[in-house]
Structure 1
Amino acid sequence: MIHFHRVSLEYPSTKTLALYNINLEVKKGEFVFLVGHSGAGKSSLLSLILKRFDPTSGAVYVNGQNLKTLKGNRIAQHRRRIGMVFQDHRLLAGLTVEENLAFVLRVLGVPKGEWRDRITRVLRTVGLVHKKRAYPYQLSVGEAQRVAIARAIIGNPSIVLADEPTGNLDPDNALAILEVFKAIHARGATVVVATHSRELVEAYPQRTIVLRSGQIVRDEKGARYNL
């Protein structure tokens, strides 16, 4: 489903080599932890999957499509098939939880008649049906992050990416967020979670890819990682 072939990425503005000679395959339905210190290349790797950048060399394929060949509207279509969760929730402050989710459905072109059922379903997945009329300022940090996850999955993406989704959370809330990702994975989505949290990786032993200085130094399933 996701394939990196000899991928390197250098940011032209800083001449920083973010990734070097990455060879990687993530199969449909896998759950993968991407771990490493800040600056190891985790966010850069996720950005390439989203086609925010093109690799300096090599190729990135998603569902067999070389992302470098995508242009114009096809880039937007590609991104709409991927759910993305960031460390900061990025909710629209002037909209309720329900309205934040409806905004996404409008952008995706989902018929309005489906909105209520979709919103209820994703809020049930993240355990926040009772908060649908709350504004972001009325939510705890953990609740806001769960709404961000609901927003990422409301379009039924086949791939869900998360970049340090628990970085701002205490251990209990972090594990609660992990439970949500486990539920998403159980429903068939391919999930890639970038994190530096050893607790998350050890709480849900899955394939763990360790990045160091832009290179993959370890790729094992269910292994403890050592940064």
Structure 2
Amino acid sequence: MEILQSAAALQAQTEIWRQNKLRIGLVPTMGALHEGHLQLVRAAAQDNDVVVVSVFVNPTQFNNAEDFRLYPRVPDADAALLGPAGCTALFMPSVEQMYPQPTVLRFDFGPLEQVMEGEHRPGHFHGVATVVSKLFHLSRPHRAYFGQKDLQQVAVIRQLIADLSFDLELVAYPTIREADGLAMSSRNRRLSPEARAAAPRLYEALALGASLVEEQQHTPKPCSRLWSSS
């Protein structure tokens, strides 16, 4: 596995692959990798000739400076996991490489980003779209792989691909969970023992709600009976 740290090096490498008719898979990440990420890397390795994995904590998608500062960064551990999973090239750029000058272009996804996470993190999906667009241009992938854990993000990127006519296929994979049901996430490392113990309750509540809705849908409705007096 090769480790690339400059945008120019990634562009040069992907140009060689393209000239040699190799199909390229891209897995964008912010590092602190877990099984959910590795599932995407293995899928990309199976579907393509070469796989680029990016590890970059993108500052433009954080609207909280403290959240950006505390985001877990374990580059050596990430690199050790990626080779065996099938990564061909690990792209680990600096902020200066990804943003040589401040960006002026602004993304606005309208109602798509005004609900759920977007409602509470203004500007977040602009930052996501900016960095993902840059990664698409630099790596020129045939397929890009994302996890469905970030469902709103997948929807935004699907819109981005359609609006800007990126010539690639978006591949989304289901959420991978811990044994107790908690969705795997890099941010789980920041949970206190008490918060980690409580975190699966949310999934349990959602699963219970879904089962109750499904049960109600399959329960025969009582017949109403019309009575007439003679």
Indicate the structure with greater helix content. Answer: 2
TM-score (norm 2): 0.31
Structure with bigger RCO (C-alpha 8 Å, 6+ apart): 1
| Structure of greater Rg | 2
Indicate the structure with greater strand content. Answer: 1
TM-score (norm 1): 0.32
